[in-house]
């Protein structure tokens, strides 16, 4: 029964990968909305949906929010910190290069899991992680000679450490209900709005752009964090970290399907590396049928 519970939680967490694959396309659909404003709008929608969901279930909105300060620090730092750093990286370094560095987080998850009680890092996890990272590098890597500031590259590295650290620490905080993520979304929306008012001009979405914002709030910036929380706390965290390598691949396929990108031979090679990394790292290739 326990094994079935872990498999179910892993399956729920894996849906997050599909959700995050829509992030780039929905961001393009939202249009030229300032990043902190876009973050505030998306997370506000996510919190509103969470509140409605609790209301339908007849559950208290405030009860899950009674958590120790360290839990709030971890949650808000993970959601807001990652997105804030990601936007800084994208604005101060070539986007492809910044994306490559920030996508170190799945590999870091596989390595950091070894620090958790009762866990150990095996050679297949390292090999699988490296294969997957090689595929991700081919997919999102750019020309290193295009330059960028130390601030941009430093923020990109910080992105990887923030999200991998948040995911692993969430695993250690299994007792915190997933519903608490709704409070993290509200706090993130408020902080993003403050940053928007301090640092950005106001430019609201226009026309169909609102569909992109609503889509972000419902999916990649909304339900994705709840499903990821379930997965990292109760599922197979190493497998989820390796599956996360599918995010840049699936995101590119969505961009191709929506006309924002063109298919290339590099995509096929990246797909092979990512798939091999997932299979090797999860140990499935070494298991008997």
What is the sign, positive or negative, of the torsion defined by CA atoms of 250, 253, 258, 260? positive
Q: Residue 169: its pLDDT value, please? A: 79
pLDDT of 7 strictly over 70: yes
Q: Residue 284: its pLDDT value, please? A: 55
Q: Give the domain ranges of the chain.
A: 1-282
The pLDDT of 202-228, averaged and rounded, is 89
pLDDT of 286 strictly over 60: no
Residue 155 DSSP label: H
Render pLDDT for 107-126 as a digit per residue (tens, 0 to 9).
777 777 766 677 777 787 78
pLDDT of 6 strictly over 90: no
Q: Residue 288: its pLDDT value, please? A: 41
What pTM value is reported for the model? 0.76
- Local confidence band at 28 (pLDDT 50, 70, 90 cut-offs): confident
CB atoms within 10 A of CB 119: 13
The pLDDT of 253-277, averaged and rounded, is 78
Q: Residue 153: its pLDDT value, please? A: 81
Asked whether 45 and 214 are in contact (CB, 8 A), the reply is yes
Q: Residue 289: its pLDDT value, please? A: 39
More confident residue, 176 or 258: 258
Q: Residue 278: its pLDDT value, please? A: 67
Burial of 172 (0-12, 13-18, 19+ CB in 10 A): middle
Lowest mean pLDDT among 89-93, 108-112, 176-180, 279-283: 279-283
Percentage of the chain beyond pLDDT 90 is 12
Percentage of the chain beyond pLDDT 70 is 86
pLDDT of 178 strictly over 50: yes
The pLDDT of 135-162, averaged and rounded, is 73
> For the chain, first and last CA: distance in Å?
22
More confident residue, 231 or 116: 231
């Amino acid at each position: 029964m326990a094994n079935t519970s872990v498999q179910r939680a892993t399956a729920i967490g894996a849906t997050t990968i599909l959700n995050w694959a829509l992030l780039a396309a929905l961001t393009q659909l939202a249009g030229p909305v300032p990043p902190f404003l876009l973050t505030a709008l998306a997370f506000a929608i996510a919190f509103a949906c969470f509140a409605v969901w609790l209301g339908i279930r007849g559950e208290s909105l405030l009860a899950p929010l009674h958590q120790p300060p360290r839990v709030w620090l971890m949650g808000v730092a993970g959601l807001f910190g990652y997105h804030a750093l990601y936007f800084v990286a994208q604005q101060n370094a070539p986007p492809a290069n910044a994306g490559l560095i920030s996508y170190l987080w799945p590999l870091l998850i596989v390595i950091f899991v070894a620090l958790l009680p009762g866990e150990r890092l095996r050679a297949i996890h390292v090999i699988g992680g490296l294969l997957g990272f090689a595929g991700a590098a081919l997919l999102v890597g750019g020309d290193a000679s295009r330059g960028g500031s130390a601030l941009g590259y430093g923020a990109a590295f910080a992105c990887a450490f923030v999200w991998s650290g948040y995911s692993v620490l969430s695993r250690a905080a299994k007792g915190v209900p997933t519903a608490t993520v709704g409070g993290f979304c509200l706090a993130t929306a408020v902080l993003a709005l403050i940053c928007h008012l301090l640092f950005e001009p106001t430019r609201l979405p226009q026309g169909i752009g609102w569909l992109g914002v609503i889509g972000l709030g419902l999916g990649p910036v909304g339900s994705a964090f709840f499903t990821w929380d379930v997965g990292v706390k109760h599922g197979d965290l190493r497998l989820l970290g390796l599956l996360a390598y599918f995010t840049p691949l699936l995101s590119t396929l969505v961009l191709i399907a929506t006309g924002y990108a063109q298919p290339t031979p590099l995509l096929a090679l990246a797909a092979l590396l990512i798939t091999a990394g997932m299979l090797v790292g999860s140990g499935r290739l070494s298991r008997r049928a």
